[in-house]
Amino acid sequence: MTEKEKAKKGYLYDNNNDKQLVEERLHAKELCYDYNHLRPSMIAERGEVIRKLFAKTGENFLIEQPFACDQGYNIEIGENFYCNHNAVMLDAAKITFGDYVFIAPNCGFYTAGHAFDVEQRNQGLEIAFPITVGNNVWIGGGVSVLPGVTIGDNTIIGAGSVVTKDIPSGVIAAGNPCRVIREITEADKDRYPRYSSK
């Protein structure tokens, strides 16, 4: 079994010394370099690089620069995806985003983890578990999402949170570790004033 196959099946694998994984990571980082050095106004060209990098995109998306990832081919984004500056996606395992996901600046999605055993860790052995983010999710600034986490549809993750466990749909969750604060209700439609010309 290759190191890449081990990673996909959730086994410890050597991410540091495996030639295939090292080359794939270098290819992704070269594309990220190209992306981050395009002018901000070059929207079409930026979209082309992301489509080369990611496994799947929607028709409409925008990822602000700079952006960094490891493999790229493990990332899938849905329609109307928006990601603000300084996102880091360590996609040793799959990272999937639904439709209408909004990500604030300085967020990290980390599928990778290291062995707890010091000898295994010093050998460069790692583990990778997928991250799944549902539809209509808003992730506040400075959030870290850790390996194996699923965030349900229509949920808000508060700024600065460290998401270590699954978060259900339709809630506001925040903190370190991130936990559910409350459900989102109909009353939230009137939370902020709306302008009316009448």
In this prediction, residue 107 has a pLDDT band, given cuts at 50, 70 and 90, of: very high
Q: What phi-psi label fits residue 106: left (phi over 0), alpha (psi between -120 and 50 degrees) or beta? A: left
Higher-confidence position of 124 and 109: 109
Q: For residue 83, what pLDDT is reported?
A: 98
Candidates 27, 37, 85, 114; catalytic one: 114
Instruction: Write down the number of H helices and E strands in the chain.
Output: 4, 19
- Mean per-residue pLDDT, 61-85: 98
The domain defined by 3-183 folds into UDP N-Acetylglucosamine Acyltransferase; domain 1 (2.160.10)
- Give percent above pLDDT 90 in the chain: 92
- Entry pTM: 0.95
Distance separating alpha carbons of residues 27 and 191, to the nearest angstrom:
46
Residue 174 has pLDDT above 90, yes or no: yes
Active site includes 114? yes
In this prediction, residue 195 has a pLDDT band, given cuts at 50, 70 and 90, of: confident
- Mean per-residue pLDDT, 113-142: 95
Residue 190 has pLDDT above 90, yes or no: no
Angle at 132 between CA 141 and CA 108, to 5 degrees: 30
